[in-house]
Every structure is written in C-alpha cells, then in structure tokens.
Amino acid sequence: MGTDDSSAAGRAYRHLRDAILEGGFAPGQMLGEAGLAQHLGMSRTPVRAALARLQEERWVTIYPKRGALVNGLSERDIAEIADARYMLESAAVQRATTATIERLLPRLEESVEAQETALADGDLPVFIDHTTGFHRMFVEAGGSAVLLEMSDRLADRRRFMLFRQGTRLIERRMAMLAEHRALIEALRSGDVALFAESLRAHLRDTHNAAVEPLRFVP
C-alpha cells in the first residue's frame, strides 16, 4: 500500500509540476486537493504529498482549508537565476580542457540546428528541451559534478521562464540562434574572456525577455 501511495504521489508531483512549468496552471491560481484528485483519478493523499513537495520547491504556497496558490518568479528571482547561470557556465568553461572543448563543438552545432528546426516548426517544447540541453553542455564541459548538480537545480526555473515567454520565443528566434552561435564561435577561438562576455550579453537578453511576461500577471 505504501509503495502504491509513493508511486501515486510521484505521478501527481510530476503532473502538477509540469502543468505549472508549462503554463497549465498560472501564477496566482488556487488549486484544490479534491479537484486535483478527481482530475488525476487518485485519492487526496498522494495529491497532498505532491503539493507539499511543490511547496518545498517554492512552486506553490499551501493555505490550510483553502488550497495551494501557484507561485511564479519575481523579477528579482529571474535576475538571480541569470547571475547563477553566468557563474556556473562561465566557471565550467574556464575549467574545461582544450580537448573537451573540441569534442563539444560539434554537439553544440547540432543542438543549434535542432533548435532552429524546432523554432521554424513552432514546436516550443522541443526547442526548450534543446536550448536547455545546449547550456547544460557548457557546465558538463567543466567536469565538475558539483557544478552540474547546481545547474540542474535551476533547470525547472529555466523551463518555467521559457514557457512563460510563449510565442515571444518564436519572435526572438533569429536573435537567440545568433547568440548561441556566437557562444560557439567564442569557444572555438579559445578566448575564455570572449565566451564570458558573450554569455553575459546572452543572459541579459534572456533576462529581459523573461521579465516581459511578468507585466501580464495580475
């Protein structure tokens, strides 16, 4: 019985988390245990456990007898995420060996091509998967499990920010792809300072684009 509850709680958590990240539940929306349980076809116990986990991750705030309020990200949150990403990605690239960078370049180029195809097709989920993977490769290059773990902890917040932009991602596609290609060329040149400068500019643009949708949140 405990195993079933644990499995159900995991399914509920993944469903609710993805719904929040991908815009199925909007910031400011109140979620009720009973309604969620009925929608998911399970008892309230695993739903309650899932909401508790989401509260630990700051995606919801639980109000007893009322429900769980969906949280978003503030402008300060987004700025701090951009700063953290800059520190992680630039530090990892600085640690990377020349041989590692040379092996990484073809993978990065393939990723940008896949991003371009996804954007041309208007497939936001696939683009988001590719662009998050693109940036993760920079951290992987550093060969530090600690840096990679720290980067992965930011992954859900990055997904949330990208999904909140919606069609704005399509509108910005040429600029984003150009910025990603500039990062690749900076790596190819072996100029770590140029890479850091290009990354800072890219994350600044990403921050500005992520802040824009906040103006439409009541």
Query: Could you read off the pLDDT tens digit of each residue along the chain, which spans 218 residues?
Result: 344 445 899 999 999 999 999 999 999 999 999 999 999 999 999 999 999 999 999 999 999 989 999 999 998 999 999 999 999 999 999 999 999 999 999 999 999 999 999 999 989 999 999 999 999 999 999 999 999 999 999 999 999 999 988 888 888 889 999 999 999 999 999 999 999 999 999 998 888 877 766 544 43
Domains of the chain: 2-70 (1.10.10.10), 75-216 (1.20.120.530)
pTM value is 0.85
Q: How many CB atoms lie within 10 A of CB 26?
A: 13
Residue keyed to tokens 């309020």: 69
Task: Let me know if 174 is exposed, middle or buried by CB neighbors in 10 A (0-12, 13-18, 19+).
Answer: exposed
- Tell me the C-alpha to C-alpha distance, in Å, between residue 114 and each of 2, 121, 123, 132, 133: 42, 11, 11, 12, 11
- Quick one: which of 98, 172, 86, 174 has its CA closest to 135? 86
